[in-house]
Amino acid sequence: MQTLAFTFPAAAPPRGRALAGVVASGDLEVLLEPASDARITIEVTTSVEGMERTWAALFARLFAEPTRPAVHLQINDFGATPGVVGLRIAQAFDAVAQED
């Protein structure tokens, strides 16, 4: 098990919060909550060690432009592929976008 942290610039926070996924084999859980300081902060706990560069590359691609709302993401990962991680994050952002 390994814990990783990331920060990116962001736009205004959303109103709601959202949950996507389950901590099942090959899947992950994303808890998305609004943040107040125009940043996206990400805290990853993963069962697979040594994949820092993969996580960093995935997040850099998703959050390079500061257009996403400011949120705190807690990710509990149980060996999901980058594709599944991207889908779960998109699912969580979609859920709060529908509430706004």
Binding residues (CB under 8 A) for other proteins: these are 1, 17, 19, 22-25, 27, 29, 31, 33, 45-47, 74, 76-78
Query: Residue 2's beta-bridge partner residues?
Result: 46
Q: Which is nearer to other proteins, 45 or 58 (CB)?
A: 45
40: number of Cβ within 10 Å: 23
Q: Which is nearer to other proteins, 9 or 16 (CB)?
A: 16
For the bound state, the minimum distance from the C-beta of residue 77 to other proteins, rounded and expressed in Å, comes to 7
Contacts (Cβ under 8 Å, ≥6 apart) of 3: 43, 44, 45, 46
Question: What's the min distance (Å) between Cβ of 61 and other proteins?
Answer: 24
Give the integer Cα–Cα distance in Å for 21 and 16. 17
